[in-house]
Chains A and B, each alone.
Chain A
Amino acid sequence: MEHTITTQQVKFKVFRFNADEDYLPYYEDYDMEVTSEEVVLDILNRIKWDHDGSFSYRRSCRHGICGACAIKVNGRSTLACKESMNDMVELFGNELVIEPLSKKRAVKDMIIDKGDFWEKHDAIHPYLISDVEEHPENEHIVTPEEAEVLNDADLCIQCGACHYACPVVEINEDFFGPAAFAKAYRFEADVRDEAHVARLNELQAPNQGVWDCAKCFECAEVCPKDVNPIEKITKLHQMLFTEGVAKSNVATRHAVGFKHSIMKNGVLDEGGLVLYSEGPSIVKHIPVAIKMFKKGKIVPPWGITKSDNLDEIQKLVKSSSTAKF
Chain B
Amino acid sequence: MEKLKYALFTGCTAKQSTPEQMMSTMAVAKKLGIELVELTEASCCGASHLQDYDDFLSLVLNARNIAYAEKHGLTMVTICNTCQLNTAMTKHRLDENPELKAKVNEKLAEVGLEYKGTSEIVHFLYAIIDDIGLDKIKEMVVKPLSEFNIAPFYGCHNIRPSELHKKDNPYRPTSLDDLIIACGGKNVDYEEKNKCCGFHVELQAPKTAAILTGNAIAGAMDGNADMMVTPCPLCHLKLDTQTGHASEAIGRDVELPVLHMQQMVGLALGCDLEELGLQHHLVEVNFI
Contact = CB atoms under 8 A, between A and B. Distances in A.
Interface of A: 74-76, 91-92, 167-168, 171-172, 206-207, 211-218, 220-221, 228, 234, 237-238, 241, 249-252, 254-256, 258-259, 261-262, 266-268, 270, 274, 277-278, 287-288, 291-292, 295-299, 304-305, 307-309, 312-313, 315-317, 319-323, 325
A258 B53 contact: yes
Interface in B212-263: 212, 241-242, 244-245
Interface string B19-56: 10000000000000000000011111011111111111
Interface residues of B, number: 63
Contacts, number: 201
B113 A262 contact: no
A258 B44 contact: yes
A254 B204 contact: yes
Contacts of B56: 320, 322
A255 B157 CA distance: 18
A320 B105 CA distance: 11
Interface of B: 12-13, 15-19, 40-44, 46-57, 60-61, 64, 107-108, 110-111, 113, 156-157, 160-162, 169-172, 191, 195-196, 198, 200-201, 203-205, 207-209, 211-212, 241-242, 244-245, 279-282
B113 A258 contact: no
Contacts of B280: 295-297
Nearest to B244: A288
Given A221-B170, A255-B50, A296-B19, 12 more contacts: A91-B172, A214-B196, A215-B201, A216-B160, A241-B54, A258-B53, A267-B44, A270-B13, A316-B110, A319-B110, A320-B60, A323-B53
B164 to A, nearest CB: 9
Contact of A167 (B43, B51, B212): B212
Contact of B52 (A237, A249, A312, A322): A237
B171 A74 contact: yes
B43 A237 contact: no
Contacts of A252: 53
